[in-house]
Structure 1
Amino acid sequence: MIKINQTFEQVYEPKKALLVYESVNADNFYIEAFDIGKNGKPLNAHPLSVSESIALAKSLANTAELSNTFLQSRNLLPENLLYTSTAIEGFAIWYTPPQKVSLRFIETLGIPCGSVAVPAMIWKANKSGLSVYAVKSPNKIKPDANQKLYHAPFFNVYESGKVCMGTVEIRIEEDCCLEDFMERWQAYFYNSYFSHTMHGHVPVKGNIVQLWQALYKTGKAFPVENLIATPLKIKDLL
């Protein structure tokens, strides 16, 4: 009760007012700031400055509800992490080397489900979506910003790299740590059923069904000569 009374007894004086304008023809916003005079009237209208924006952001970040722990690492940053943004609309970009993973395909494709070789991959994801690309990168060599991107050689991936997750239920919490975030998106992708190409996009040279059938039959490494280049480099994803 004492703490509640102390809270009620605190006196708050108006110091600044913000007026938000939204463009009629575009999704743009403009914020105007007002200083508040001794008589409570707004004075000195001006565009919200960088320093005022930073002060406001810090004030909001101090509240428990808006504290931002999204994509914070538990420890040292993962070695395969390439880039991360922990903003409200934060995202991460990471790399996985050539490896064998377990893939699932719908029965009508005639491709067995099980362990098969995939190429080195670049992943970009936020809370709600995933994009994937392939790179021609040897084992254990981390790609740099100028690494050329290739189309991911999978079904269910648009030409842009965005993945159609179908009926997969995506659960990424607001406070999801970086390591869990990366692990979950890889699991969502590899554990979903691959079913069809997207809008006529051909992600590999030759027949994609025959390519995966041959990989299962031979157990060989993914043939990177079958990858198709995109106009993008890793730096274009930042």
Structure 2
Amino acid sequence: MSGISTGRASADVSLQSALLLYGAKDEETVFATAHPIALVKGRPTIGAGRPLQRDALISALTKLAEHAAPKAEFLPPTVLGISPSAVTWWCPPGMRRVFFKCQTLGERSAIVPHPGLVFQAANAGFRVFAVAGNDRPAADTKLYEPPYFNTWDNGGICIGTARVPKRVDVASIPRWEAGFFESAFTHPNAGGKRVAYKDGEYAFWRDMLDGKFGDSFPLECLVPMKFAVQALVNGRVGGVA
């Protein structure tokens, strides 16, 4: 039986036992039994149960709650929201190196200006969006398309060979960012327009790599989306491709 990654534990876990709850009505549980799990012809099968006493039930649920609940941790000012399945944060605008490896632009690398970015690492995938301005985004801050290759609609990032963490937590934010910035951009993905620029995205990134914009990202090239930051934090932005 294969293990199941919890995303929080230090090791994988596997199915061990089952609890069955009994009651006369849908929302009235009056009795519980514990059952071992055995492999029968390669399939996990629930074995015979035994009555579960109140103290044992409370102990089991307490241990589950300790592992399932998010651990208390210091939240830096760049964190915009956390949930059991996602972390959303802001990356201020600045100069960062990018890497390109594609047929049209060749293999190139340069330090270029980036807009403010909002990242979200989640169990469902990795996403990035742009924001205008230098201040920490608020709930109603408008999101823009990420002006990058290797991105899908709704901010989805094509991971490819990028090395990103397995964990989704605040402590892993630097490694998620490194996985994005240190991987090579190879091609524009299918979907909507990512950047508003004469002659398209290849011309835009050629000019970026050539240093045309100095140390200021051209915000007029950002493509607006219909979402704000709060919608992303609350899980109301469409799924990752």
TM-score by length of 2: 0.67
The one-letter amino acid of 2:207's match is A
Quick check: 1:197 aligned with 2:188? yes
State the 1:110 CA deviation: 1.6
Q: 1:61 to 1:196 in 2, by over 3 A?
A: same
Q: Distance in 1 between matches of 2:76 and 2:123?
A: 19
Quick check: 1:61 aligned with 2:89? no
Other structure's SS at 2:187 match: coil
State the 1:104 CA deviation: 0.8
Q: 1:96 to 1:33 in 2, by over 3 A?
A: same
1:143 to 125, 137, 142: 137
State the 1:172 CA deviation: 2.0
Q: Distance in 2 between matches of 1:171 and 1:156?
A: 18
CA contact (8 A) 2:152 2:191 kept: no
The one-letter amino acid of 1:189's match is F
Gaps of 5+ in 2: 1-18, 33-48, 52-57, 235-241
**Match for residue 206 of structure 2?**
213
The one-letter amino acid of 1:203's match is R
Q: Distance in 2 between matches of 1:117 and 1:103?
A: 10
The one-letter amino acid of 1:204's match is V
Alignment of 1:46-195 (within 5 A): 58-62=62-66, 66=67, 68=69, 72-73=72-73, 76-85=74-83, 87=84, 90-110=85-105, 112-127=108-123, 129-138=125-134, 141-173=135-167, 178-179=170-171, 181-195=172-186
Q: 1:55 to 1:108 in 2, by over 3 A?
A: same
Q: Which digits, 9 at most, give the CA deviation of each residue in 1:113-164, with x for residues without a partner?
A: 12111111011112462111001122xx211000010000000111111111
Q: 1:155 to 1:17 in 2, by over 3 A?
A: same
CA contact (8 A) 2:118 2:131 kept: yes
TM-score by length of 1: 0.68
**Match for residue 226 of structure 2?**
231
Other structure's SS at 1:114 match: strand
The one-letter amino acid of 1:184's match is R
**Match for residue 26 of structure 1?**
none
Q: Which digits, 9 at most, give the CA deviation of each residue in 1:23-67, with x for residues without a partner?
A: xxxxxxxx7663139xx999xxxxxxxxxxx997544124xxx36
CA contact (8 A) 2:162 2:179 kept: yes
State the 1:177 CA deviation: 5.0
The one-letter amino acid of 1:136's match is A
Q: 1:109 to 1:55 in 2, by over 3 A?
A: farther
- The alignment of Structure 1 onto Structure 2 pairs a total of residues equal to 185
Other structure's SS at 1:188 match: helix
Q: 1:32 to 1:116 in 2, by over 3 A?
A: same
Q: 1:133 to 1:41 in 2, by over 3 A?
A: closer
In percent, how many aligned pairs have the same letter?
Answer: 27
Q: Which digits, 9 at most, give the CA deviation of each residue in 1:152-204, with x for residues without a partner?
A: 0000111111111112243324xx7513x111110111111111112143201
